[in-house]
Structure 1
Amino acid sequence: MTFGSVIERNVARPLMRLVTMGGAPILQQLHLEERLLRRTSDNWCIVNDGTAPPTIVMGVSGKVSELVEIRPVLRDHVPVVRRFSGGGTVIVDQGTVFVTFICNKTAVAGLQPFPRDIMSWTGQLYGKVFRGFGEFHLRENDYAFDHRKFGGNAQSITKDRWVHHTSFLWDYDVKNMSYLKNPQRAPEYRQARDHSDFLCRMNEYMPSRSVFTEGITAALGEHFTVQHTELEMALSDHDDFVPSTKVLSPQDLQDIISSKEAPTVERVQGWPR
């Protein structure tokens, strides 16, 4: 039995506002997500199909020196963003499809606002999306086809709300993966495989991106009343919000090379927007 399967038969489904974007910069997307998490009381699903330029995105507590090949990043002018949520480090580009759920704690009947419970629910939801397109698994904190990862997740939980966002690899450039180090803490199922053996592309399993996004809308419709919402409405009345997601400057990265140690979270808060 899935979360809310009994109760939702007898009560009105909560509203889920769906915002779709095409190619929005990942920094803009993360600023929007944090604003909606902290300044609204609605449930949201944000879908962003691709982003440019290629950008490295890190969790709030990740250490740059342990996760990023800093010298090539500086040489090739690859932006590095530290987001407001936890989770690992990814490089995203036009081949990445982003899906984010921002929900009130009471939005899903029976769902406890803890990381494993949220992952269990999202895993069930994506299981419906990918049914018939491959052997889908929730492996530890990743989405995988068989034993290869195609979706990385991050979460943030506040007093009354939570956010779960995923970067899905519809496609990826092998060259871009060279900007990332293999993390010191990796899931057991990775078994020390390099990126090319550990990752797979969704386009090997699904016919089109539109089939994927339509599947998300259909799966959400089993839990929510889904309402398509224009981006302008999502942005309204929150112009004074100052997000914590930041871009690391070239000088920040150069300083890390010089000191051979990662900056602290306190220092991150002072970096320019």
Structure 2
Amino acid sequence: MKEQKAWVLNGFIGVLLIVVLAVGGVLLLINDNVVAGIVLLIAAAALMSGIAVVQPNQGFIVTFFGSYIGTIRESGLWLTVPFSMRKQVSLRVRNFNSAKLKVNDIEGNPIEIAAVVVFRVIDSAKAMFDVDKYEQFVEIQSETALRHVANKYPYDVFDVEGYSLRGNSEEIAHELSRELQERLSVAGVEVMEARLTHLAYSTEIASAMLQRQQATAIISARSKIVEGAVGMVQLAIAQLQREGVIELDEERKAAMINNLLVAIVSDRSANPIINTGSLY
């Protein structure tokens, strides 16, 4: 099926024509011309059945004895094929909020995920005739695509570089929109945007994964601290030797490096011990 434009005539002209036929039929009946009068009244009633009022951003699917003859998209008052059936379809932009789904990411971790899909109908014929209840079709396919995307990526990456559901929201949204468009094109639906609205570890592993995230953050911070501490110790010893403040042999240099590293890397402030000598 493919949408096509239905035959229409300006509705005000149609209403005027109906009035003229009805008045003519009544006058003929008054003048005892029964057959002609009845014919004109039947014609007026037939044209009346073709009157349609179309609201903005809505359309009418027009069928004639089971055959699709076109769609009326323009808003206003129209006269279309008499005795035709007309079914309204919304052309407005709509949102669909998926339920929170419990799925496994690519590493097998159970997660909770949900998304919002912004869509609209661009081909009314496909939406009405190629699928059964396109609104439900959009909901089911959206949840299916969301599960498929969630299964392709990890919730988060800790040790390697790569895409993740939490760290690459823009890329995941683009991937979800692309897959949704492929699935919903058969229903004549355009996906305007799709984004995650909820993402979290499932309750049974949330505590353990939080500890893992905290441990990863601590390790990363410690690595930066050690890297900076080594650089500071190298600069301190180089400056002392360059200015000749003190002569350091290998043993004293090792002791100084140890003390400086302990003072810089330690979580607590250093508490120096001052040697004042013996009291006796």
Fold match (TM-score > 0.5)? no
Larger Rg: 2
Compare relative contact order (CA 8 Å, sep 6+) and give the higher one, 1 or 2: 1
More helix as a share of residues: 2
- What TM-score do you get using the length of structure 1 for normalisation? 0.21
